[in-house]
Amino acid sequence: MAESVILLAVAKIGAALGNEAINQASSQFKKFIAQLTELQGSMGRIRRELRLIHEFLCRMDVRNHKNPTYEIWVEEVRMLAYGIEDIADEYLHIVGQKHHGGWRIYLKKGFKHPNVLLSLNRIASLVKEAEINLVHLFQAKDRTCPMLEALPKDKAWELFCNTAFPGDTNHKCPKEMTKLAHQVASKCKGIPLAIVSIGRLLFRRDKTKEELKRIHDQLNWELFNNPSLEHVRNILYLSYIYLPTHLKSCFLYCSLFPEDYLMRRKKLIRLWVAEGFIERRGESTMEEVAEGYLKELVHRNMLQLVQKNSFGRMKSFRIHDIMHELAVDLCQKECFGGVYEGDKHAEYIEEKDGRRLVIHKLKKGIYQSPSNLHRLRSLIALDIGTPSSSLLPLIVGMSRYMSVLELSGLPIENVPDAIEDLFNLRHLGLRGSKVKVLPKSVEKLTNLLTLDLFGSDRQELPRGIVKLKNLRHLLAERVYDATWAEFRSASGVRIPRNLGNLTNLQTLNALDAQDESLGCLGELRQLRSFRIWNVKGIYCGRLCESLVQMQFLSVLSVNASDKNEVLQLNALPPNLKKLRLTGRLAEGTLCESLFQAVGQNLYSLHLYWSELKENPLPSLSQMSNMTDLDLTSAYTGEELIFLSGWFPNLKTLFLRDLPNLKLLEFKKDAMASLERLILINLNSMTEVPPGIEFLGHLKKLSFAGITPDFLMLLRQCSRIGRVRWQHSLRH
């Protein structure tokens, strides 16, 4: 349906009318204030008309979705809304969205440049034309979209009861179920087909309030698993129609990925935000709101939750096969987006005015197919074999409205200077590419929210990166060892000056520590995830001063410059959930109040090369909510004994490179929830850990780097006979 498209256009016009930069532009264009006022008035009237049409569509969709006349009218509305969105973006590009100094300079220069005035006149003409067309479309709705008759509420209720409840009860709804049954029946909006289908489902079930509530809450699940339910596709369509408008675009977006494709929470949320699907709600970040959308789609069974992390947060998702098929059809019907899968759907982009393109599999260069490439706003390449040498220049040259460019995994080596022409770009994904240097012109991508260079060959970032004040996620960690077995497994990026300008940053992975950058860290108070490399002991004081100001920080990784540097950390943010420390820890670090402040919030702790002489377990065991513990070259002692009651929620224990460890023992009722135990290179250990039989929930047991003698002990040990275990021999 076109509601989501209209809402995006309404949001863009709202930004054009409400942005402070417009006031700035008005003061600059004093001689043309009348024209600006008229232009803004037209935009306001367009916004009102769009809202009226949106309300009309919300009432009409269920009853007219198979009415060809109605569908033609909706198509006209959709294409006009797309055009209005383009006009709004062009307008915002000219008059500016921000009040910062650099943009004021642009405005002043632009004011003197006749092309800017010509562009404003052109936009005013387009807006006036759109306003006229919109009024005509709204007036035509009664002629082209007759309202199909639905059953009155009492007749709909009567049909529901006659279908759902047996004749021996006179088709009466039990009193205790009446309220909930009315809620279920009301979902059908008086449509007999929907009423009968849902009524038949209830007829075959127990007539209890609990059963009715389950059907109410999990209707989609029932549709997928109940083969006797008729008209499944129609009801699935109905379930989509009943989605709140703000969820429809998010759901359709998921269908652009291949069937059974595993979608990751973080990446999906960043893409949604960049697409403009997420509404602002109070003090919540858009990412937090988007996570709420995800939960709602899972609750409605529109998405299937595949995996949670160890502390219960949603991690990955799929879309059900049946729902995927329906959503793909809707995407094509609504010109929401299309896919390339060999040559299977290439004609769709050719024939339709698609706004989004996801490349599943490409048999020939993309430049050979779509004539409507200039209308694309999003391009995602999942096929790492996609020809990349010509792809990026092609996009930059033809798709100036592009907002999402996700090319991770492609062997792209160069980003053209003309990338600056993508003024609307909000997401640039070059993860795992061969890009070494970004052009200086990237500083002009003032709308950019996510820059993902993780795992690429990047060597440095341009100094102007600090001008991207809207940037929320900067991922630029260069990885040398994906197993993290080496001390220097990765490196950060240097941002020496004006790092504090990036006050909207939520993710900074990773920064290379320097004197100048450390002085600005305290300004980044919106950070949620932060990794820093090359930390020297003398930096720790200033680093901790900055960290305690990051009240929202939940993921932190601090990595020393070399094995001899001592990390003297005396304070941590209070809301940390995941912490990784690489490097020697100052004596007494674990015993001090450092971990006490975050103890009950911390779920995941990784200590690498800590060189602890004292047994860390007594101190760490106070963190009762911990679910992951990783000790790699972290302890030089000979014994680790897990006492009864310690780590009740721990699910993963990872012990690696503890060369002096001779005894590893588990007392009864220690780590009662442990599911994964990974032991690597414990060279001095000569016996199977005593008490391993007490780990009743163990699902994975791994021994790596063991000797043939130890392997023989494992095979002879009856205590681990019930657990499936794996091993690798020492080289």
Q: What is the DSSP string of 556-614?
A: EEEEESSTT-EE------TT-SEEEEESEEPTTTTTSTTTTTTTTT--EEEEES--B-S
Distance in angstroms (rounded) separating the CA atoms of residues 586 and 611: 9
Q: What is the pLDDT of residue 144?
A: 57
In single-letter form, the type of residue at position 425 comes to L
| Predicted pLDDT of residue 103 | 38
Confidence of residue 558 (pLDDT cuts 50, 70, 90): very high
3-state SS assignment for residue 355: coil
Reported as a pLDDT band with limits 50, 70 and 90, residue 87 is confident
> Strand pairing partners for 340?
359
CA 668 to chain centre: 41
Rounded to an integer, the average pLDDT of 192-217 is: 73
pTM of the model: 0.81
Q: Which of 190, 187, 185, 186 is nearest to 160 (CA)?
A: 185
What's the token pair of residue 49?
Answer: 């008309």
For residue 49, the model assigns a pLDDT of 86
Average pLDDT over residues 685-689: 92
- Which residues, in sequence order, are CB contacts of 557 under 8 Å at separation 6+? 509, 510, 530, 531, 532, 579, 580, 581, 582
- How far is residue 28's CA from residue 108's CA, in Å, rounded to a whole number? 7
Question: Which residues, 6+ apart, have CB-to-CB distance to 429 below 8 Å?
Answer: 405, 406, 407, 408, 450, 452
472 and 493 in contact (C-beta within 8 Å)?
A: no
Q: How confident is the model at residue 388 (pLDDT cuts 50, 70, 90)?
A: confident
pLDDT at residue 534, as a whole number: 95
pLDDT of 369 above 50: no
User: What is the mean pLDDT of the segment spanning 611-639?
Assistant: 93
Residue 349 above 70 pLDDT?
no
pLDDT for 631 beyond 90: yes
Lowest mean pLDDT among 3-17, 187-201, 641-655: 187-201
Q: What is the mean pLDDT of residues 370-389?
A: 79
For residue 288, name the pLDDT band (cuts at 50, 70, 90): very high
What is the SS3 string spanning 700-717?
Answer: EEEEEEECHHHHHHHHHC
The pLDDT of residue 551 is above 90: yes
**What DSSP line would sit under 519-550, residue for residue?**
HHGGG-TT-SEEEEEEE-GGGHHHHHHHHTT-
Whether pLDDT at 113 is above 50: no
For the stretch 13-55, pLDDT in tens is 887 777 554 666 666 566 677 777 888 888 888 888 888 888 7
pLDDT at 149 over 60: no
- pLDDT of residue 723 exceeding 70: yes
Q: What is the mean pLDDT of residues 500-517?
A: 94
User: Which tokens hold the place of 653?
Assistant: 């224990």
pLDDT of residue 476: 95
Mean model confidence pLDDT for the chain:
83
The dihedral through the CA atoms of 342, 343, 346, 348 has a sign that is negative
Query: Alpha-carbon distance 335 to 354, whole Å?
Result: 5
Instruction: Between 127 and 151, name the one with better pLDDT.
Output: 127
| pLDDT beyond 50 at 494 | yes
Pick the range with the lowest mean pLDDT from 402-416, 537-551, 605-619, 705-719: 705-719
Supply the pLDDT for residue 108.
41
Higher-confidence position of 672 and 127? 672
Greater pLDDT, 529 or 245: 529
Q: Is the pLDDT of residue 258 over 70?
A: yes
At 721 the pLDDT is 67
* Coil, helix or strand at residue 308: strand
Query: Token pair for residue 641?
Result: 């004994």
- pLDDT-derived band of residue 151, with 50, 70 and 90 as boundaries? confident
The lowest-confidence range among 95-104, 137-146, 327-336, 396-405 is 95-104
- Is a pLDDT exceeding 50 seen at residue 97? no
Q: Is the pLDDT of residue 447 over 70?
A: yes
Q: 242 pLDDT exceeds 80?
A: no
Q: How far apart are CA 216 and CA 198, in angstroms?
A: 10
Q: Which helix (H) or strand (E) holds 347?
A: helix 346-351
Residue ranges in 284-339 assigned as alpha helix (H) = 286-299, 321-333
Q: What is the 3-state secondary structure (H, E, C) of 56-88?
A: HHHHHHHHHCCCHHHHHHHHHHHHHHHHHHHHH
- What count of other Cβ atoms lies within 10 Å of the Cβ of residue 128? 14
Give the whole-angstrom CA distance, residue 91 versus residue 19. 12
C-beta separation of 701 from 723 below 8 A: yes
Cα 277–439–88 angle (5° rounding)? 35
Higher pLDDT, 169 or 471: 471
R_g (Cα) of the chain, nearest Å: 30
- Which of 516, 496, 563 has its CA nearest to residue 536? 563
Cβ-contact 571, 551 below 8 angstroms: no
Of the listed ranges 346-355, 413-422, 435-444, the one predicted with least confidence: 346-355
What gap in Å lies between CA 102 and CA 87, rounded to an integer? Answer: 24
Q: How many CB atoms lie within 10 A of CB 32?
A: 16
List the chain domain ranges: 3-144, 153-240, 243-309+323-327
Please give the residue that has the higher pLDDT: either 418 or 334: 418
Q: Percent of the chain at pLDDT above 90?
A: 42
Least confidently predicted of 170-174, 596-600, 684-688: 596-600
User: With bands split at pLDDT 50, 70 and 90, how would you rate the model's confidence at 142?
Assistant: low
- 69 vs 700, residue with greater confidence: 700
Res 367: pLDDT:
47
Helix (H) or strand (E) holding 21: helix 20-28
User: Which pLDDT does position 329 carry in this prediction?
Assistant: 82
**Angle between helix 101-112 and helix 20-28 axes, rounded to 10 deg:** 40
pLDDT for 718 beyond 80? no
What is the mean predicted confidence (pLDDT) over 617-633?
Answer: 93
Q: Please state, in angstroms and rounded to a whole number, the distance separating the CA atoms of residues 185 and 166.
A: 17
Task: Say which amino acid occupies 722.
Answer: R
Query: Comparing 62-76, 420-434, 571-585, 622-636, which segment has the lowest mean pLDDT?
Result: 62-76
**Comparing 415 with 592, which gets the higher pLDDT?**
415
Q: Is-contact 634 610, C-beta < 8 A? A: yes
Tokens describing residue 527? 């950070």
In this predicted structure, the answer to whether residue 429 has a pLDDT above a threshold of 90 is yes
| 317 close to 265: Cβ distance less than 8 angstroms | yes
d(CA 548, CA 355): 43
